[in-house]
Amino acid sequence: MQLPEHGANSARLYESMNIPVPDRILDFSENCNPAGPPVAVKEAWAGLLSTITSYPDPDGQPFRAVASKFHQVEEQCVLVGNGAAELLSLLAGRYRGQRVLLIDPTFSEYRATLEASGAEVVSIQAKEEDDFRLPIAHILEALPKVAALYLCTPNNPTGILPSSDELLTVVRAAGESGTEVVMDEAFIDFVDEKQSFIHQLERYPHVIVVRSMTKMYAIPSIRLGYIVAHPEITSAVKRQASHWHVNGVAAEIGALCLKEQQYCQSAIHHAQTERAKMVAFLRAYDCRVIDSVANYLIFAPKQDAKVLYRYLLAQGIVLRHSENFRGMDGRWLRVGMKSAEQMNTLREAMANWFKEQ
């Protein structure tokens, strides 16, 4: 049985497992905002039709200008991409033939894009017994031997956000060893924009922050992300991209989204509320839960996680397996925070299973 590499695409998951596709699927394997796109996007949608008759701006305007203002950085520090996935691929090319450090378990696309680009990937395993916290001492020891370190803040799949002191310790050591730090903040806007490392980039020009518009604004099919970094870095990465790599509709929608910060605050509150309820539920059934700050969490049931996973699939409920997260070996499951009604449905189905064990 071949499980998919990522969450989402639930119908394909059922097909790959030879399970009949149910009439109703509740997909907790992906982590987009359950509220859907901001109202401003829906209201502007029809008016964007004229955009498709013109070539897009090669720099991703107007989104680039709005993003630079939002983060209070120069426009030259912002590189817009066709989703964070494209930017990760472009960054991987920067390290071709060099050694790059990953901290597992983490987002699988880092390794995939780096290896495809010809980089040598080395990794340090965050230990389950330490709740997958960053192994700072081991990282500091490895930094002089690598060209770059990738960090996911907060981490996917664990939802752990290293403390400011931990990040600064690593970043300063990386600066001393001439190591770049790629910091993936795809989920930082579900925490607090004040926690973003972008505010400190002026002091640490060897740090590259990758951002995604997909998760918070629920626009995965639009494909929009951006890098914030020193202009020399954004310029070098930009040269590896095709000329019109960001479509005009995406640039317009992204510009609208960044102005919807009340929408973001509502999403943060909802994620925190549902996460707290889910943590309490899981611990009541003796599951091990890692403290997450993101809009998802991971847990390990005392029983076989794979059996629970398949049971829920039969109920039309999809969680994220951990088969391809190194060091997790399928023992953990990840659940994204969805609507209150959907979360109640999930808990009811899980409670029925736990009571049968």
CATH number of domain containing 49: 3.40.640.10
Where does a domain end: 199, 231, 259?
259
Which has the closest alpha carbon to 132: 284, 292, 275, 274? 292
Examine residue 5 and state whether it is found in any structural domain, yes or no.
no
The total number of structural domains in the chain stands at 2
Examine residue 3 and state whether it is found in any structural domain, yes or no.
no
Residue-level pLDDT at 13: 83
3-state secondary structure of 138: helix
Examine residue 277 and state whether it is found in any structural domain, yes or no.
yes
CATH code of the domain covering residue 327:
3.90.1150.10
Residue-level pLDDT at 10: 80
Q: How far is CA 8 from CA 61, 89, 104, 221, in A?
A: 29, 20, 22, 12
* Same domain? 85 vs 63: yes
* Same domain? 158 vs 253: yes
* Same domain? 155 vs 176: yes
Question: What residues in the chain have per-residue pLDDT under 70?
Answer: 1-8
CA distance 90 to 106: 19
Where does a domain end: 239, 259, 279?
259
Examine residue 95 and state whether it is found in any structural domain, yes or no.
yes
Residue-level pLDDT at 7: 54
The 3-class secondary structure across 208-251, one letter per residue, is EEEEECHHHHCCCCCCCEEEECCHHHHHHHHCCCCCCCCCHHHH
CA distance 332 to 62: 41
Tens of pLDDT, residue by residue over 307-341, are 999 999 999 999 999 998 999 989 999 999 999 99
- Residue pair 8/220 in contact (Cβ under 8 Å)? The answer is yes
- Packing angle of the helix pair 108-117, 83-94 (nearest 10 deg): 40
Query: Domain span at residue 300?
Result: 10-30+262-356
CA distance 323 to 331: 8
* Same domain? 190 vs 115: yes
* Same domain? 223 vs 341: no
Tens of pLDDT, residue by residue over 155-180, are 999 999 999 999 999 999 999 999 99
Residue-level pLDDT at 3: 59
Residue-level pLDDT at 8: 62
CA distance 327 to 309: 18
- Residue pair 152/107 in contact (Cβ under 8 Å)? The answer is yes
DSSP code for 153: S
Residue-level pLDDT at 4: 57
pTM score > 0.75 for this model?
yes
Examine residue 25 and state whether it is found in any structural domain, yes or no.
yes
